[in-house]
Amino acid sequence: MRNVLAWILRNKTVAIVCRLALAAIFIYAAVGKVLKPSDFADSVAGFRILPIPVVNIFAIVLPWVEVVCGLSLITGVFMRSGGVLLAGLNIVFIAAAASAMARGLSIECGCFTLSHAGDTVGWSLIARDVGFLLLCLPVVLQRRSMGGPRYPAA
Amino acid sequence: MPAALKAIARVGILVAVATVLGIASNALRSDGLPLIRKPLSETRPTVKREQLMAETPQRKPNPPTSEKPPVTESLPSAVALETPTKQPSEPVKPKTEVAPTQEAKKPKPAARKIQALFTNLNDAKACFDNKSAIFLDSRAVEDFEAEHIAGALWLGFESVEEDYQKVLGKIPKDRLLVTYCSDVQCASAIKLADALVALGHTRVVIMLEGLPGWRDAGYPTSSGMKAGD
């Protein structure tokens, strides 16, 4: 079992598929937030986690973090750092969703404000974010030699 | 440089690039957000109680047309529900003789932003007690079903165009409407109220305390779905 996991995490094809999937997901997620920053800021405020004055700056910057990380995964520039950052974001999203659920908040997460698909905070959202987090692992754990244009394959 | 530090530096570079892009794109937008957010309660005025109550028409189910029509804009224009530049067509009421003449003396504020105003919990309860207002719940329909202000109707702001006719189609445009959602940081009641003002309603207020404030004050709630939902 351990060998299978190690093979999955180190497999070059798996890593590439995960990279591209993550990039597509997070760039798509960012588009809606960039187009409707006001809606996204309202969603962020709905979590009642951040102090109100910093909600807007968070809502302005976060979508671009997703875009930049997505581009880094596509281009291979700072790719592992992009993967680490996305993994960190997913951990934050999971913690925020769990916190909202624990406080009994019934809110929209604002994750994909273009589609509103599965946008309500709940177990399905946490499961989805855990899935995204798992997608980050092969990207973060892969060998440098698999990194992309900057690290030609051995 | 150790690998860990290098990785942290690279993460920092990515975040810095994203921050610059985000702030720059926000600055270039016509609808860009202010970098410092204000609490929702500070974003627009609150209607004073006497203004809300004094001009609340005592409603009957079908007011006879011979009766003097209620003042169409009963929230005083000073605190204004800023009147839409074009009044929506009212099936019953002719535009009152009084209001238009008063209006005619003033220059029309052509491009003023149309928005609903806030009310507070106690004033909303007073309107509830004298049955002068319709309460509209803008939370998720499941939340409405679980608990809502007694007698409230559900109308989500995202589906307001589709559900409007069903929920409020026969309600006069000058009927007092009170929107609410979860609490003081919930924006959907504000969006619903503004959407209703845009649809021609002249007396829409937002109860920012929402259902939790109402419930905590010991005011009546109920559960299940209502007609019009």
- Residue A146 lies inside a defined structural domain of this protein: no
Average pLDDT for B187-204: 88
What part of A 26-45 touches B (C-beta under 8 Å)?
Answer: 34, 37-38, 41-42, 45
**A30 near B18, Cβ under 8 Å?**
no
Residues of chain A with C-beta less than 8 angstroms from the C-beta of B22: 60-65
**B35 near B105, Cβ under 8 Å?**
no
Q: Spell out the residues 6+ positions from residue B90 whose beta carbon is closer than 8 angstroms to its own.
A: B72, B172, B173
Higher pLDDT, B64 or B215: B215
Say yes or no for a CB contact (<8 Å) between B14 and A78: yes
Alpha-carbon gap, residue B37 to B21, rounded angstroms: 19
Q: What distance in Å separates residue A39's CA from the closest CA in chain B?
A: 9
Residues of chain B with C-beta less than 8 angstroms from the C-beta of A107: 182
User: Partners of B46 in the beta sheet?
Assistant: B118
The amino acid that residue A62 corresponds to is L
pLDDT at A75: 94
The size of chain A, in residues, is 154
Structure token digits, residue A47: 């979590």
Q: Spell out the residues 6+ positions from residue B167 whose beta carbon is closer than 8 angstroms to its own.
A: B136, B153, B154, B155, B228, B229
What part of A 62-81 touches B (C-beta under 8 Å)?
Answer: 62-65, 67-69, 72, 78, 80-81
- The dihedral built from the CA positions of residue B46, B51, B55 and B61, taken in this order, carries a sign that is positive
- Residue A119 lies inside a defined structural domain of this protein: yes
Chain B interface includes A59 (CB < 8 A): yes
Chain B interface includes A140 (CB < 8 A): no
pLDDT at A22: 95
Alpha-carbon gap, residue A26 to A19, rounded angstroms: 11
- Residue A76 lies inside a defined structural domain of this protein: yes
Say yes or no for a CB contact (<8 Å) between A52 and B23: no
Residues A77-126: pLDDT tens digits?
999 999 999 999 999 999 999 999 998 887 888 888 665 555 788 899 99
Residue with tokens 């589709």: B162
- Residue A153 lies inside a defined structural domain of this protein: no
Higher pLDDT, B119 or A67: A67
Which residues form the domain of A13?
2-138
Q: How many domains does chain A have?
A: 1
- Residue A63 lies inside a defined structural domain of this protein: yes
Say yes or no for a CB contact (<8 Å) between B18 and A41: no
Say yes or no for a CB contact (<8 Å) between B14 and A34: no
- Residue A87 lies inside a defined structural domain of this protein: yes
Burial of B108 (0-12, 13-18, 19+ CB in 10 A): exposed
The amino acid that residue B196 corresponds to is L
DSSP-based three-state secondary structure for A77? coil
Residues A6-39: pLDDT tens digits?
877 778 888 899 999 999 999 999 998 999 898 8
- Residue A144 lies inside a defined structural domain of this protein: no
Q: Which of A38, A53, A72 sits opposite B33 (nearest CB)?
A: A38
